[in-house]
Structure 1
Amino acid sequence: MTAADQPPQGGRGPRRAVAAAERTRQPTEVRRRLIVDAAVPLIAERGYASVGVRDVAAAAGVSVGTVTYHFGSVQEVLSEAMVLHIERYYTALSEAAEHATTAAEALRLLVDALFTEDTDRHWRMWFEYWHAGEQGTDEAFARGQADRYAAWHRQIRALAERGVGDGEFSCDDLDGFTTRFAALADGLALQRLRQAPPLTTQEARHHLNRFIERELTPRSPL
């Protein structure tokens, strides 16, 4: 056996070579998504400001050069990661609400999905997204952030409007209800994460449901 035929120490060389060859055959969008997917849990665990390009590369199983080839900066990677997570989360909420038989049921499903034992990670991402928007100067990022806030408000308003249209509720101020619902959800989520004062998921749901009951007055059957 020649030196060229001998396996490298630890067997790591061939795995890197194969991985690199496989990456060159993947379309650009696949490689970008691989990197972005790997960044999502890093942000959730460490925070936006504590994740660097080397962290992302290691999590994705690619070289630092691969990350910098596909993205202009680590901020671009992390921004796309946050957007990806948020879009996935709210798409799932929207789909659940659409399958509800009534607007009241849809709103209950929405509240239940906003506060579970598994949603703390989402809320950390959401607040990191806020922070990134305040710190950054990227106009495209700012526009995208504004669009997502607007889409979230439209989703809430549509559910309330559906109930009014179907005769389930009466509400004189759908826009005001939407603003107050979103603000209360954000505030409860922040308190839930900080636990100052302590707040359980059940308590957060209770507060939101009570708010809905008071703002959207059920109509008495004729």
Structure 2
Amino acid sequence: MQSEQRDDVAERVRKVITDAGVTQREFARRIVMDPSKLSRSLGGTRRFTAAELARIAATGGVDAGWLLGTAPTAAPARRPRTAGPAGTAGASLEGGRPLQIIRETVRLIAEHGFHAVRVQDIAAACDTSTAAIHYHFPGRGDLLEAAVRWCMDEDTARRAARVADAADAADELRQLIELQIPRTPQQRWQWSVWLDLWAEAARSTAVGRLHADYYRQWRTTVADVIRRGIAEGVFRLADPAAAALRLTALIDGLATQVLAAAPDSPGAGPDDMHEALTAYVDATLTAH
């Protein structure tokens, strides 16, 4: 009987995803859920948690009781007010309340650091109650893990958009490097979040695994670009994996120095970081 109920819930979730008109992976991003967990839950090898079903209902605009089979119809759920990127109440935000909570959590982490951010602060930023925050994310650990996953997905999407029109592998690598340089307030904000989450990853097994997975993907992306560049003749022969490890480590170290330095510190600005990375790539990779 429990297996049949689980299948029924999975079938209703599939309908919500279909009605949303997006891919399963995109829906997972909107409800801030690991895509592999969503896949296993839909396949019947994993049970949806109450918080996940709440986010699915809120994002899909259906009644949570209907998802569980305790309500007869998929009546639209009463949607709370959402906020825009700057926290302006009343503005529509794609993805609904869960994604708004995550975006505001990430913004507050960037401004104050994770351990200084309280659930009350997040609730105030979202113009809602702490009970509503806990409804979607029962604990601070759930919030942090979701925030890390959202940052990872956003960073991956930005990289894909940036290199879409690259002329060759060398141009693609230059585009990837430029994207990592904290020039704009937005880029500095993103790096501030990453640095704080890195520190938390060292203390949290769950976040540490996410961090390791993300960096494995990031280094693989860089290694693939280098491998293509070697085949195209724009890069010299090298071990792509080792070269990617060294380059990504250099990017991290230089970005940290840029963020930590005063704005007018000589030799520690975004242009200095760009010059150092360009020189490194020319000295170690560029075919002459």
> How far apart, in 2, do the equivalents of 1:52 and 1:79 lie?
15
> Which of 126, 129, 140 lines up with 1:74 in the alignment?
140
Q: 1:135-194 deviations in whole A, cap 9, x for unaligned?
A: 2243xx332221101111011111111111112111222121111101100000110111
Which 5+ residue runs of structure 1 have no aligned equivalent?
A: 1-19
- CA drift of 1:95 comes to 2.5
Number of equivalent positions: 194
> How far apart, in 1, do the equivalents of 2:118 and 2:239 lie?
45
Conserved 8 A contact 2:110-2:189: yes
Aligned to 2:115: 49
Q: Does 1:114 align with 2:183?
A: no
Aligned to 1:87: 153
> Which of 125, 145, 152 lines up with 2:193 in the alignment?
125
Displaced runs of 4+ in structure 1, greater than 3 A?
none
Aligned to 1:157: 223
AA paired with 2:284?
E
Q: Does 1:134 align with 2:228?
A: no
> How far apart, in 2, do the equivalents of 1:174 and 1:78 lie?
33
Q: Does 1:22 align with 2:79?
A: yes
Q: 1:54-99 deviations in whole A, cap 9, x for unaligned?
A: 0111111111001112112123213312321232123212331232
> Which of 260, 267, 271 lines up with 1:202 in the alignment?
271
Equivalent positions of 1:163-202 (< 5 A) are: 163-195=229-261, 198=266, 199-202=268-271
Conserved 8 A contact 2:148-2:210: no
Q: 1:175-220 deviations in whole A, cap 9, x for unaligned?
A: 211111011000001101111765111110111111111111315x
State, as a whole percentage, how many aligned pairs show the same letter: 28
The structure carrying a bigger helix percent of its residues is 1
Question: Which TM-score applies when normalising by structure 2?
Answer: 0.63
AA paired with 2:184?
E
- The 3-state SS of whatever aligns with 2:192 is helix
AA paired with 1:177?
A
Alpha carbon RMSD of aligned pairs, Å?
Answer: 2.0
> How far apart, in 2, do the equivalents of 1:163 and 1:87 lie?
26
Conserved 8 A contact 2:223-2:244: yes
Conserved 8 A contact 2:230-2:237: yes
Conserved 8 A contact 2:224-2:240: no
- The 3-state SS of whatever aligns with 2:128 is coil
Deviates more, 1:88-97 or 1:100-109: 88-97
Which 5+ residue runs of structure 2 have no aligned equivalent?
A: 1-76, 82-94
Question: Which TM-score applies when normalising by structure 1?
Answer: 0.80
**Larger relative contact order (Cα-Cα within 8 Å, sequence gap ≥ 6):** 1
- The 3-state SS of whatever aligns with 2:161 is helix
- The 3-state SS of whatever aligns with 2:202 is helix
> How far apart, in 2, do the equivalents of 1:102 and 1:145 lie?
29
Deviates more, 1:67-76 or 1:43-52: 67-76
AA paired with 1:210?
A
Conserved 8 A contact 1:94-1:155: no
> How far apart, in 1, do the equivalents of 2:287 and 2:136 lie?
53
> How far apart, in 1, do the equivalents of 2:142 and 2:277 lie?
35
AA paired with 1:68?
H
> How far apart, in 2, do the equivalents of 1:217 and 1:105 lie?
11
Which one has the largest radius of gyration? 1
